[in-house]
């Protein structure tokens, strides 16, 4: 917990999750490429649905991690 707080202090809140954000950005690029295709197959639509569900899960997970770290920082400084 203290290490996570130290990392946030040094890099800022976004720096602590740079890898996760870069991974999500790569996945969003993949979705964009699929959407840019002129023909969309049922398999493409299923793949998009799966990616959207994965994004939702990962964003919720990242939100929970951020909230936990924020609460830990508050507790360290109180």
State pLDDT tens for residues 31-40.
778 777 767 7
Q: What is the pLDDT of residues 35-55, one digit of tens each?
A: 777 677 888 888 888 988 888
pTM, two decimals, is: 0.47
Residue 13 DSSP code: T
- Whether the Cβ atoms of residue 78 and residue 7 lie closer than 8 Å to each other: no
């Amino acid at each position: 917990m203290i290490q996570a707080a130290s990392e946030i202090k040094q890099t800022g809140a976004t720096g602590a999750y740079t890898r996760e954000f870069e991974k999500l950005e790569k996945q969003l690029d993949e979705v964009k490429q699929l959407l840019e295709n002129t023909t969309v197959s049922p398999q493409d639509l299923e793949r998009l649905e799966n990616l959207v569900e994965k994004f939702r899960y990962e964003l919720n997970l990242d939100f929970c991690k951020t909230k936990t770290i924020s609460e830990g920082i508050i507790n360290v400084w109180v």
